[in-house]
Structure 1
Amino acid sequence: MTLTFDRAIYTDLLSQFTPKIIETEEEYEQTLDVVESLAFNQSRTVEQTALYKLLVLLVEAYEAEHYAMSEASPIEVLNHILEASNTKSADLVGLIGSSSVVQEIVNGTRAISEAEAKILSDRFKVSPSLFIE
């Protein structure tokens, strides 16, 4: 069954919440409230889905400008994965090298080689590019 897009219904939705570029924290919060209500609506219509997608784009643009995150270094990624997986650096000894090699990598005094990145990616089931600068 193909659902058709009803312009009149969509226009009515737009009049209830007029989308625009988000410029303030208050507008951001208001938009998030609408996005959240639409996101959790199990019986969302085609028109509501279109509004939802538009609002998500506006929220993402605001967040990219106001909540920009710096990219994590390979060492930060590794340390995060170790913590999240409840893995100790000692568990990497023998996998990527000796105890001293592992400590140098974890402490950030030694870069992760491509071969080590491949081993880590296989071990943690992630892309090797996460471990290469």
Structure 2
Amino acid sequence: MSALIKHATEHWHHVAPLLNKPETEDEYDLLVSGLDELLEIIGEDEGHPLNRLAILIGDAIEAYDHENRPMPVASGVEALRYLMREHGLNQGDVPEVGTQSVISEILSGKRQLNLRQVRQLADRFGVPVEVFI
């Protein structure tokens, strides 16, 4: 048996909970907490030896979310409304869309976002254009 496998075998019971796909909310919560701790240790250092473990845990969390907590489908207007609220913006703070009256018509459903507006909003908020389509 190689030294690597010997060490892995000796410490597996400590590491296994971090590498298993979560099947319950408790296991999910354990991974989220573990990832939070790892990210505090790693910081911005992508070359940190624990970075790969953080990526694996993040992937397991994402898979669980995808399977158990699907994202609700939202319209482009709902996404815009949400992003404006999250960023503390009012209708006058989004010139990418147009004048305040244009924004009001879009938010009330009287007008659709056009492609130019969608692209500019995606750039401003750092999200894919599909969010607004």
Fold-level similarity (TM above 0.5): yes
Question: Which position in structure 1 is the counterpart of 2:54?
Answer: 52
Query: Deviations 1:77-130 (Å, cap 9, x if unpaired)?
Result: 22123323433225568x62572x4322111232112244356557x4656825
For residue 103 of structure 1, what is the aligned residue in structure 2? 104
Q: Aligned runs of 1:80-99 on 2, under 5 Å?
A: 80-90=82-92, 96=98, 99=101
CA distance in 2 between counterparts of 1:45 and 1:121 reads 32
* Aligned pairs for 1:1-133 within 5 A: 7=4, 11=8, 14-18=12-16, 19-42=19-42, 46=49, 48-90=50-92, 96=98, 99=101, 101-118=102-119, 120=121, 124=124, 126=126, 129=129, 132-133=132-133
Instruction: Point out where structure 2 has 5 or more consecutive residues left out of the alignment.
Output: none
Give the match's secondary structure for 1:17.
helix
- The structure having more radius of gyration, on CA atoms, is 1
Segments of 5+ residues of structure 1 without an aligned counterpart are: 1-5
Contact 2:118 2:129 in 1 (8 A): yes
Could you say what secondary structure the match of 2:41 adopts?
Answer: coil
Aligned counterparts of 1:35 and 1:121: Cα–Cα separation in 2: 29
Structure 1 runs of 4+ aligned residues shifted over 6 Å read none
Distance 2:48 2:115 in 1: 48
Determine what percentage of the aligned residue pairs are the same residue: 22
Alignment RMSD: 3.6
